[in-house]
């Protein structure tokens, strides 16, 4: 009998599932080359073989723009380069979700990393012991404090002040602070800002950037052929609404899990819609009850087309209009002209149920066509809810 784990592994769509998990730090950070260069420039003074100096850097930006990843990647490169140059440098990372005070950070550093028994000592005593040990061993450390908005600014300042325990001109403790933007504006009002030599502002990713990032991550995560360009584009579109790379990567991971559960080797648009819904479960449940009967017919026609097996990415106005007419007949409702149909479609788009875009013709011929997609909700769920709303209306004889 085959081992169940072996079967699972060989049947998987994942080349490397771990590479799509939040813990994974990718080798490369496409589209963040400038930020990497800035970090390297700022930190390179720590590689002076003769004089230990410290520098403080802040990385600021919204969710999922690569702040943590940038810091982890650069400090890991710094660590290995310093070792190769015989410079005694160590990098440490703390996340303030777990360590919420200066004391807990110090204790963590002192106990775990330097074998100093921290318990029973004050912060000042611990800092002194740490400083002595660093001097004796001629060591430099770089401490990354992630989610620093959870800490009081005084606590961060307190850690930075540790450098005053060394002779003038010497610094052995460098700090990289990472925060979201709003939290940083609060911190700016304190003395902290004067202590930070370099501030790296990271912006939301653009669609183009996300395309590069997500196709790189898809190559690492999936076997060739699992995620078509078309489906990738769809994930990029979703992530572009937030500018957050994690949004797209999480959707890819979930899509892979769905494919494995369904024992198929290809990710379909329908999986993307389902995964998206799991990542961002923000569908207002009563949105369909507010629709008019004709709008429900439009939504029903699109959802029906897109939920067909084989999973279409999008449909066209012409196709949807044909199916709409058919449903109108079936429910005994007066069907409207194509122009009115378009108005209903606009309403549905405004409510965030469908997305209607104008794109060039797929065969490269001249002209453009309108295509309709359903990003937000799996087509089958839309279909189900629309049918429920129709039933309610029919029962209550509403239009
Ligand atoms: N340029 C990039 N190239 C490849 N992967 C990236 C890139 N930027 C971000 N990622 C990936 O996107 C996810 C989110 O990145 P990260 O955790 O670094 O964001 P963050 O800015 O720290 O967000 P938060 O404020 O929520 O902590 C991670 O899985 C990371 O590996
Ligand atoms: Mg982070």
pLDDT tens-digit profile of 43-62?
Answer: 999 999 999 999 999 999 98
Model confidence at 310, in pLDDT bands (50, 70, 90)? low
Tokens of 114: 């330097």
| pTM (two decimals) | 0.71
- 180 close to ligand 1 (CB < 6 Angstrom): yes
**Counting ligands in written order, which one lies closest to the CA of residue 252?**
1
Instruction: Say which CATH number the domain at 127 has.
Output: 3.40.50.300
- Would you say residue 15 lies in a domain? no
**Same domain, yes or no, for 333 and 186?**
no
**Same domain, yes or no, for 49 and 145?**
yes
**Is residue 313's pLDDT more than 80?**
no
Model confidence at 118, in pLDDT bands (50, 70, 90)? low
**Same domain, yes or no, for 178 and 311?**
no
- Would you say residue 8 lies in a domain? no
Domain end residue (candidates: 201, 217, 239): 201
pLDDT tens-digit profile of 199-255?
Answer: 999 999 999 999 999 999 999 999 999 999 999 999 999 999 889 998 899 899 999
- Would you say residue 27 lies in a domain? no
Domain end residue (candidates: 254, 279, 304): 279
- Would you say residue 362 lies in a domain? yes
**Same domain, yes or no, for 228 and 271?**
yes
Mutate to test the pocket of ligand 1, among 66, 67, 178 (most ligand atoms within 8 A of CB): 66
**Same domain, yes or no, for 49 and 189?**
yes
**Same domain, yes or no, for 194 and 209?**
no
Instruction: Say which CATH number the domain at 213 has.
Output: 1.10.8.60
Q: How many domains does the chain have?
A: 3
CB 173 within 8 A of CB 141: yes
Per-residue burial over 277-313, b = 16 or more CB atoms within 10 Å of its CB, e = otherwise = bebeeebeeebbeebebbbbbbbbbbbbbbbeeebeb
Flag the least confident range among 20-24, 180-184, 256-260: 180-184
- Would you say residue 2 lies in a domain? no
**Is residue 282's pLDDT more than 60?**
no
- Would you say residue 22 lies in a domain? no
Flag the least confident range among 36-50, 226-240, 270-284, 331-345: 270-284
Taking residues 361-380, report their average pLDDT. 76
User: What is the 82 CA–ligand 1 centroid distance (Å)?
Assistant: 25
- Would you say residue 10 lies in a domain? no
- 252 close to ligand 1 (CB < 6 Angstrom): no
User: What is the 64 CA–ligand 2 centroid distance (Å)?
Assistant: 7
**Is residue 318's pLDDT more than 70?**
yes
Residue in 395, 377, 397 with CA at minimum distance from that of residue 288: 377
**Same domain, yes or no, for 129 and 94?**
yes
Question: What is the reported pLDDT for 281?
Answer: 37
Tokens of 323: 């199916």
**Same domain, yes or no, for 184 and 58?**
yes
**Same domain, yes or no, for 98 and 168?**
yes
Mutate to test the pocket of ligand 1, among 213, 246, 251 (most ligand atoms within 8 A of CB): 246
**Same domain, yes or no, for 213 and 117?**
no
Residue in 142, 138, 113, 139 with CA at minimum distance from that of residue 126: 113
Taking residues 152-181, report their average pLDDT. 91
**Same domain, yes or no, for 344 and 380?**
yes
Ligand 1 atom at minimum distance from 31 CA: 1
Taking residues 135-139, report their average pLDDT. 93
Q: What CA–CA distances, in Å, run from 128 to 139, 151, 358?
A: 14, 21, 65
- Would you say residue 130 lies in a domain? yes
**Same domain, yes or no, for 224 and 331?**
no
Q: List the domain range (segments joined by +) for residue 245.
A: 205-279
Model confidence at 170, in pLDDT bands (50, 70, 90)? very high
- 181 close to ligand 1 (CB < 6 Angstrom): no
Number of Cβ within a 10 Å radius of residue 28: 12
Domain end residue (candidates: 201, 233, 268): 201
Question: What is the reported pLDDT for 10?
Answer: 66
Instruction: Say which CATH number the domain at 293 has.
Output: 1.10.10.10
Q: What radius of gyration, in Å, describes the C-alpha atoms of the chain?
A: 28
Question: What is the reported pLDDT for 377?
Answer: 67
């Amino acid at each position: 009998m085959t081992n169940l784990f072996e079967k699972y592994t060989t049947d998987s769509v994942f080349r490397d599932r771990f590479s799509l998990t939040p813990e994974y730090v990718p080798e490369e950070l496409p589209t963040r080359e400038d930020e990497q260069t800035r970090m390297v420039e700022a930190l390179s003074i720590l590689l002076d073989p003769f004089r230990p100096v410290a520098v403080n850097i802040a990385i600021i930006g919204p969710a999922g723009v690569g702040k943590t990843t940038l810091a982890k990647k650069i400090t890991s490169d710094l660590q290995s380069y310093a070792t190769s140059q015989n410079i005694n440098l160590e990098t440490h990372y703390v996340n303030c979700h777990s360590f919420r005070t200066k004391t807990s950070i110090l204790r963590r550093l002192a106990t775990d990393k330097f074998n100093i028994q921290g318990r029973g000592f004050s912060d000042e005593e611990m800092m002194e012991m740490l400083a002595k040990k660093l001097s004796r061993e001629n060591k430099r450390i770089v401490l990354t404090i992630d989610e620093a908005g959870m800490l009081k600014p005084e606590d961060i300042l307190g850690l930075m002040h540790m450098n005053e325990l060394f002779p003038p001109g010497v610094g052995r403790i460098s700090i990289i602070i990472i925060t979201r933007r709003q939290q940083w504006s609060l911190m700016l009002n304190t003395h902290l800002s004067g202590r930070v030599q370099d501030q790296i502002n990271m912006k939301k990713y653009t669609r183009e950037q996300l395309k590069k990032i997500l196709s790189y991550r898809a190559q690492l995560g999936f076997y060739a052929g699992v995620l078509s360009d078309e489906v990738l584009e769809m994930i990029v579109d979703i992530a572009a609404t937030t500018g957050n790379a994690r949004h797209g990567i999480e959707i890819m991971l979930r899509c892979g899990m769905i494919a494995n559960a369904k024992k198929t080797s290809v990710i379909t648009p329908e999986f993307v819609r389902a995964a998206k819904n799991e990542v961002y479960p923000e569908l207002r449940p009563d949105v369909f009850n507010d629709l008019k009967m004709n709008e429900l017919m439009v939504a029903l026609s699109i959802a029906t087309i897109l939920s067909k097996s084989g999973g279409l990415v999008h449909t066209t106005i012409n196709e949807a209009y044909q199916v709409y007419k058919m449903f109108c007949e079936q429910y005994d409702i007066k069907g409207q002209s194509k122009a009115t149909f378009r108005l209903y479609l606009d309403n549905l788009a405004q409510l965030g149920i469908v997305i209607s875009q104008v794109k060039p013709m797929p065969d490269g011929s001249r002209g453009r066509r309108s295509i309709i997609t359903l990003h937000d909700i799996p087509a089958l769920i839309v279909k189900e809810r629309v049918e429920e709303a129709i039933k309610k209306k029919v029962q209550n004889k509403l239009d």
